[in-house]
Amino acid sequence: MENMLLHITYDGTNYSGFQIQENASTIQETVEKALGIVYKQPVRITGAGRTDAGVHARGQRANFKAPFHIPEEKLPSAVNSLLPPDVVITGAERVSDGFHARYDAKRKIYSYTIDRANFPQVLKRLYSWHIPERLDLDLMQKAASKFEGTHDFKTFQVSGSGVDDTVRTLFRVDLDNRPCEQVLVITFEGSGFLYRMVRLITGSLVRAGMDRLNLVEITGALKGENASAAGPTSPAAGLCLEKIYYELNQ
């Protein structure tokens, strides 16, 4: 059976996350249902990132074993015609038999969008965290730099995720302030991410921007000495899985 990799985009607003679960509408279930109709038999997909309830994706990937051959250029449209408008397949490619969308991911990029307008920007409300308070971007950028590099991020996860190795590398944590749009977009590129890690770090960065968390506290937290420096967990709406890299030279 051919191993196929899908490029999946979705508005997570109305879903209980990516991963399939009982009695809840998920992205995985939605895509599997459409693939099941296309291939006329049950199909299971393996997602690259298990995005949480309400989190969006412009660059999710998932692989599956195709019961029979459908040309990769025809597959997206065939599946999209069976999907609701908030889930769209934007590409498909054949990959090697052993390829695994999650285990083979080398890097991931997430973005987090903060709406800085005085009142919530109504057309961005589903895709951002509204913070009307003043944020010191200089302080935030300095705090962001502290997170870059290889650290034990065990303080910056929601426990119970059952992961043993909590060391990850963040290649960059960039702040992109866009005054015209009145948004601040924070980009996280990393080797991998713990459960709620981006949302907890974002919460810490916002506290830093309000001068309620300093660099020493962050450094301490990254040494496991200051759990109170993590978070609060920022809202799911602002988070978007942007990209998965499978080759480092992409």
Minimum Å gap between C-beta 64 and a second copy is 19
Q: Does 76 sit near a second copy (CB under 8 A)?
A: yes
Q: Cα angle vertex 92, ends 94, 37, to 5°?
A: 105
Enumerate residues 6+ apart whose C-beta is below 8 A from 69: 2
| Binding to a second copy, residues 93-132 (CB under 8 A) | 117-123, 125, 127
Angle between helices 137-147 and 215-222 (to 10 degrees): 20
Binding to a second copy (CB under 8 A) within 29-58 occurs at 56, 58
Q: Is residue 187 near a second copy by the rule CB under 8 A? A: no
Establish if 79 lies at the interface with a second copy (CB under 8 A).
no
Nearest approach, Cβ of 72 to a second copy (angstroms)? 14
Active site amino acids: 52
Closest CA to 242 of 148, 125, 84, 105: 105
Does position 80 interact with a second copy (CB under 8 A)? The reply is yes
Structure tokens, 17: 């996350």
Pairing verdict, β 56-66 and 239-245 = parallel
CB of 150 to a second copy, least distance (A): 31
18 binds a second copy (CB under 8 A): no
**H or E, element range at 232:** none
Q: Given the rule CB under 8 A, which residues bind a second copy?
A: 9-11, 56, 58, 76, 80, 85-90, 117-123, 125, 127, 240
